[in-house]
């Protein structure tokens, strides 16, 4: 039994200045699934579907700024992520669930942004990619348990639960609901869509976990068009087909919805 547990989990201990500041802190991550983005020089693993990490376009259709998925993650003008959040050493083939970290952020690898913490203990991080796997399953991307996953997944945490790297000092990634106008979960070109963190095929603020748009006169609000509606429109700015997109002019929440709120400001008839 202990051997099976060792195969499924690894303990990561923070050292040096982190210990001086934080004390001994045990971080637990799962080892199910692919261990790295790319298996070897010939490709494999995530690379097989998502392409070169320094390539300009994902085969899934996403276009990256600076013509590079890697630059999108690291460039100061984009996600601005410290190298230690992904790499054990500069230039290596990063692991999914471990990395060097920084003085302020534990090294959780790719899982720090693409998985969530399922352990309520603040001193233990148990990263599980349940939402990511459900997203793949819902898009007909499946693999055998023997190949990828050794334990059943829990129910994915809701969209609004942030991955552990989000909001840290070492990356600009934040807000798993990807609220506008900042869209701090998205740095791709020509869209404002972030990740489907819980795998239910509903993205960002369109997910009920992130709250809807309180257009009060439809009977769902407090009877007034006011500041709450204004903030909700800002939170969905640019998103298409959301509860705040009322279909005025160009698709997507924007100036037309903002003007509509100003025109309706006050008590509902």
pLDDT, residue 241, reads 66
pLDDT of 30 above 50: no
- Closest by CA position to 261, among listed 222, 241, 231: 231
Mean of per-residue pLDDT scores for the chain: 78
- What is the H or E stretch that residue 30 is in? strand 26-30
CB 221 within 8 A of CB 237: no
d(CA 269, CA 266): 9
**CB-CB contact of 238 with 252 (8 Å):** yes
SS3 of 224, please? Answer: strand
pLDDT of residue 26: 38
Tokens of 238: 């640019």
Query: Which contacts qualify for 260-263: CB closer than 8 Å, 24 or more apart?
Result: 261/225, 261/229, 261/230, 261/233
Contact 133, 149 (CB under 8 A): yes
Task: Check if the beta carbon of residue 197 is closer than 8 Å to that of residue 131.
Answer: yes
* Residue 251: band (very low, low, confident or very high) from pLDDT cuts 50, 70, 90: low
- The per-residue pLDDT for range 158-177, each reduced to its tens digit, is 998 999 999 999 999 998 99
pLDDT at 19 over 80: no
pTM (global) more than 0.75: no
Pair 78, 65: CB distance under 8 Å? yes
Question: What are the tokens at 54?
Answer: 């320094």
Q: Higher model confidence: residue 94 or residue 23?
A: 94
> Token pair for residue 104?
């302020």
What's the chain's length in residues? 269
> Please, how many CA atoms are within 13 Å of residue 46, restricted to the half-sphere of its CB?
19
**CB contact at 8 A, 211 and 96:** no
Q: In this predicted structure, what is the pLDDT of residue 8?
A: 32
Mean pLDDT confidence for 232-259: 75
In sequence order, the 6+-apart residues with CB closer than 8 A to the CB of 43 are none
Judged against a pLDDT cut of 90, whether residue 197 lies above it is answered with: yes
Residue 50 confidence (pLDDT): 87
């Amino acid at each position: 039994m202990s051997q099976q547990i060792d195969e499924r989990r690894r303990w990561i201990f923070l050292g040096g200045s982190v210990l001086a500041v934080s004390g001994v802190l045990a971080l637990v991550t799962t080892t199910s699934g692919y261990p790295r983005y790319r298996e070897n020089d010939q490709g494999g693993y995530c690379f097989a579907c998502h392409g070169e990490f320094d390539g300009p376009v994902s085969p899934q259709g996403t276009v990256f700024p600076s013509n590079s998925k890697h630059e999108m993650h690291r460039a100061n003008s984009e996600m601005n992520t410290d190298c230690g959040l992904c790499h054990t050493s500069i230039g290596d083939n990063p692991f999914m669930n471990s990395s060097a970290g920084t003085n302020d952020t534990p090294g959780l690898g790719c899982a720090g942004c693409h998985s969530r913490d399922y352990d309520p203990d603040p001193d233990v991080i148990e990263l599980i990619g349940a939402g990511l796997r459900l997203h793949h399953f819902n898009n007909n991307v499946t693999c055998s348990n023997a190949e990828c996953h050794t334990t059943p997944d829990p129910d994915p945490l809701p969209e609004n639960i942030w991955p552990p790297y989000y909001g840290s000092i070492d990356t600009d990634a934040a807000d798993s609901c990807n609220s506008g106008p900042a869209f701090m979960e998205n740095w791709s070109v020509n869209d404002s869509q972030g990740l489907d963190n819980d795998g239910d095929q509903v993205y960002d603020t369109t997910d009920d976990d992130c709250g809807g748009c309180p257009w009060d006169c439809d009977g769902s609000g407090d009877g007034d068009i006011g500041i709450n509606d204004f903030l909700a429109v800002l939170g969905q700015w640019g998103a298409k087909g959301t509860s705040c997109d009322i279909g005025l002019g160009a698709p997507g929440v924007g100036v037309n919805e903002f003007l509509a709120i100003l025109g309706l400001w006050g008590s509902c008839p």
